[in-house]
């Protein structure tokens, strides 16, 4: 079993290094337009299915155990004791508006523990089921890995509640097998993990995208920073940093760090920067920072791979307040408007496609090249924007904006934390990555996305029109939905929850039905590479009811030029006298 776990771990590490999956944004109350906190997450994976996870609140008998499974392979890792009560979780937000997202940074490959039970996915779900605040979630995560070991590679977590937003990074202490003197059994003397959690200052935003971003941090300042040995102080109002007590000492013992403690950097020690980490990961962070702060151009060199250039800060102050719509827009980023715009080079083809198929790096002759790794990507299983609103009761205040498949062509649907169940179109078990389901949102959106990949710049105007129609409609409905739910909450909590459940179910079904109609419209309009004539969504016919002749847009001049350069006069029409 140990050999199998080692092999699986190495396969997961290889997959992470190839795909650089997931992108997260973090927004504090003072940086949002309405005073909400927000985090976002994209589950980028070639095997991750788009479904909305549902964990109802539950009471558990004494002695109950919970089985944990590896997030990347579904392999059972083991069991740990269950707590007496677990909280409701919708997706990655719980009934107290605590939300968690992640990106994997990998880090030092030798720091793995094949005997550990709790992987990064289990940490997320267990923390959500057991925490009422972001700080409590950090504590739960720290205690879980201390007691049961950490079974994944390096991870960055976005952790937020209605009042605070935290950025946490963690990596296993590795495996140091010794014989226990009391029991005679083999144990891992280094079981657990080293980690740091930093509170994002109010009015600021942060982001992470598969590379460790916490560098230096304050330690043992009584009021503003505490180690894991001082968890009793975790609710100090001025607290800015929480960290594993041996995060520096362990690095010294392993030979990763030998300098003055004031120069210690978590990222540089546990996940040394490389060209890949900058260009494929930090570039995605730079791109969103660049859209909201006018002083970011000075970091472009670093983000595009110059390791000697000035490094980006962990968090920045945006020039404007952000909304959920902004975060949805950032999720659709392909470096548009920059010199690395994915739609502008020859790889985009005649239809300006800002996507590149895997692998990420490729060889031609003896040299290796790469495709840009941007935020929007075809292999997203699902993504979300979690919005936490402190001025409202939790059942109404927490909105989980959820979209399936590619963020560029998804629609983010609102799901309130007070719902009693998840709607069928996004429910777990309605299809999977190898099982097509006509009623599943994931497959409906995937079919439209594939049409987009075929004729990108032709399809996107029609797609974005419907996308905006739906999302803007949901934004407009929120105030009235809030009002009705709050009114019901005053007299009947269950009636309020039933109202929210019906609203979310109606919204999900409406979205899937509208997207299916869009797919049918696109198929007719762009059949066989032609473009049917239409007005306001209605296809045009001649006076006798027959279809008007379609348009034949052909290819752009760049495509024509390349064909002529490649074929010479082979395809040239003879000149007529």
What is the DSSP annotation of 451-512? HHHHSHHHHHHHHHHHHHHHHHHHHHHHHHHHHHHHHHHTT-HHHHHHHHHHHHHHHHHHHH
Query: Using one digit for the tens of pLDDT, what is the confidence trace for 17-48?
Result: 445 679 999 999 999 999 999 999 999 999 99
The beta-strand segments (E) located in 314-449 are 315-316, 361-364, 367-370, 380-388, 399-404, 413-416
Token readout for 372 is 């840009």
Tell me what the mean pLDDT of segment 369-391 comes to. Answer: 96
CA distances from 37 to 10, 133, 167, 233, 477 (A): 36, 13, 13, 23, 20
Asked whether residue 81 carries a pLDDT value surpassing 50, the answer given is yes
Q: What is the structure's pLDDT at 243? A: 97
User: What percent of the chain has a predicted confidence (pLDDT) above 70?
Assistant: 97
Q: What is the structure's pLDDT at 15? A: 43
Q: Are 362 and 369 in contact (CB under 8 A)?
A: yes
Q: What is the structure's pLDDT at 229? A: 93
Q: Mean pLDDT lowest for which of 436-445, 508-517, 563-572?
A: 563-572
Q: What is the structure's pLDDT at 6? A: 44
Interatomic CA distance for residues 542 and 533, integer angstroms: 11
Q: Are 82 and 65 in contact (CB under 8 A)?
A: yes
Q: What is the structure's pLDDT at 16? A: 43
pLDDT category, 4, cuts 50, 70, 90?
very low
Asked whether residue 577 carries a pLDDT value surpassing 80, the answer given is no
Q: What is the structure's pLDDT at 379? A: 93
Q: What is the structure's pLDDT at 20? A: 62
| DSSP 8-state symbol, 360 | S
Interatomic CA distance for residues 283 and 300, integer angstroms: 8
pLDDT category, 8, cuts 50, 70, 90?
very low
- H/E element, 178: strand 177-179
Residue 147 pairs in a beta bridge with: none
How many residues in total does the chain contain? Answer: 577
Asked whether residue 2 carries a pLDDT value surpassing 50, the answer given is no
Asked whether residue 9 carries a pLDDT value surpassing 60, the answer given is no
Asked whether residue 90 carries a pLDDT value surpassing 50, the answer given is yes
Asked whether residue 470 carries a pLDDT value surpassing 60, the answer given is yes
Residue 399 pairs in a beta bridge with: 387, 416
Unique residue bearing structure tokens 């094949």: 114
Query: Using one digit for the tens of pLDDT, what is the confidence trace for 150-160?
Result: 999 999 999 99
Helix (H, G, I), strand (E, B) or coil at 91: coil
Q: What is the structure's pLDDT at 169? A: 98
As a whole number, the mean pLDDT across the chain is: 94
Query: Using one digit for the tens of pLDDT, what is the confidence trace for 261-292?
Result: 999 999 999 999 999 999 999 999 999 999 99
Domain boundaries, the chain: 2-331, 334-370, 425-577
Asked whether residue 355 carries a pLDDT value surpassing 70, the answer given is yes
Side-chain-side CA neighbours of 170 within 13 Å: the count stands at 32
CA distances from 479 to 21, 173, 205, 354, 473 (A): 34, 47, 25, 36, 11
Tell me what the mean pLDDT of segment 220-239 comes to. Answer: 91
């Amino acid at each position: 079993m140990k050999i199998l776990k080692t092999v699986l771990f190495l396969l997961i590490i290889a997959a992470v290094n190839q795909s650089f999956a997931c992108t997260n944004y973090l927004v504090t109350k003072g940086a949002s337009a309405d005073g909400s906190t927000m985090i976002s997450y994209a589950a980028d994976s070639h095997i991750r299915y788009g479904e909305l996870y549902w964990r109802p609140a539950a009471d558990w008998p004494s002695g109950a155990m919970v089985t944990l499974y590896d997030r990347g392979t579904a392999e059972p890792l083991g069991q740990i004791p269950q707590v007496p009560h677990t909280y409701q979780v919708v997706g990655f937000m719980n009934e107290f508006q605590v939300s968690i997202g992640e990106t994997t940074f990998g880090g030092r490959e030798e720091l793995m523990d094949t005997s550990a039970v709790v992987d990064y996915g289990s940490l997320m779900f267990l923390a959500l089921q057991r925490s009422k605040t972001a700080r409590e979630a950090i504590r739960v995560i720290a205690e879980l890995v201390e007691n049961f070991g950490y079974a994944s590679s390096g991870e960055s977590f976005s952790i937020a509640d209605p009042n605070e937003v935290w950025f946490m990074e963690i990596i296993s202490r590795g495996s140091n097998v010794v014989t226990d003197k009391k029991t005679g059994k083999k144990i891992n003397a280094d079981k657990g993990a080293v980690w740091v959690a930093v509170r994002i200052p109010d009015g600021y935003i942060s982001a992470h995208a598969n590379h460790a971003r916490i560098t230096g941090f304050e330690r043992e300042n009584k009021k503003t920073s505490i180690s894991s040995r001082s968890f009793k102080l975790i609710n100090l109002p001025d607290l800015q940093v929480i960290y594993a007590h041996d995060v520096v000492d362990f690095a010294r013992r392993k030979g990763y760090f030998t300098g003055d403690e004031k120069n210690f950097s978590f990222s540089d020690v546990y996940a040394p920067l490389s060209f890949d980490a900058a260009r494929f990961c930090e570039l995605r962070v730079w791109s969103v920072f660049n859209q909201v702060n006018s002083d970011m151009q000075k970091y472009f060199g670093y983000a595009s791979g110059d390791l000697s250039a000035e490094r980006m800060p962990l968090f920045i102050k945006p020039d404007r307040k952000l909304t959920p719509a902004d975060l949805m827009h950032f999720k659709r980023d392909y470096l548009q408007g920059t010199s690395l715009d994915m739609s502008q080079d020859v790889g985009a083809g005649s239809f300006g496609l800002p996507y590149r198929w895997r692998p990420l790096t490729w060889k031609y002759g003896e040299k290796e090249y790469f495709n840009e790794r941007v935020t929007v990507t075809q292999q997203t299983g699902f993504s979300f924007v979690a919005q936490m609103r402190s001025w409202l009761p939790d059942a109404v205040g927490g909105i989980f904006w959820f979209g399936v498949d590619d963020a560029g062509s998804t629609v983010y649907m609102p799901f309130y934390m007070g719902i009693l169940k998840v709607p069928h179109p996004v429910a777990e078990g309605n299809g999977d990555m190898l099982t097509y389901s006509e009623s599943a949102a994931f497959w409906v959106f995937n079919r439209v996305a594939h049409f987009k990949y075929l004729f990108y710049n032709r399809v996107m105007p029609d797609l974005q029109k419907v996308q905006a129609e739906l999302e803007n409609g949901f934004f407009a409905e929120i105030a009235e939905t809030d009002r009705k739910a709050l009114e019901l909450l005053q007299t009947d909590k269950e009636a309020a929850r039933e109202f929210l459940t019906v609203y979310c179910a109606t919204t999900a079904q409406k979205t899937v039905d509208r997207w299916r109609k869009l797919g049918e419209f696109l198929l007719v309009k762009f059949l066989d590479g032609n473009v049917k004539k239409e007005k306001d969504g209605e296809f045009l016919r001649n006076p006798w009811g027959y279809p008007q002749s379609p348009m034949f847009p052909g290819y752009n001049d760049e495509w024509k030029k390349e064909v002529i350069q490649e074929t010479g006069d082979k395809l040239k029409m003879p000149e007529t006298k």
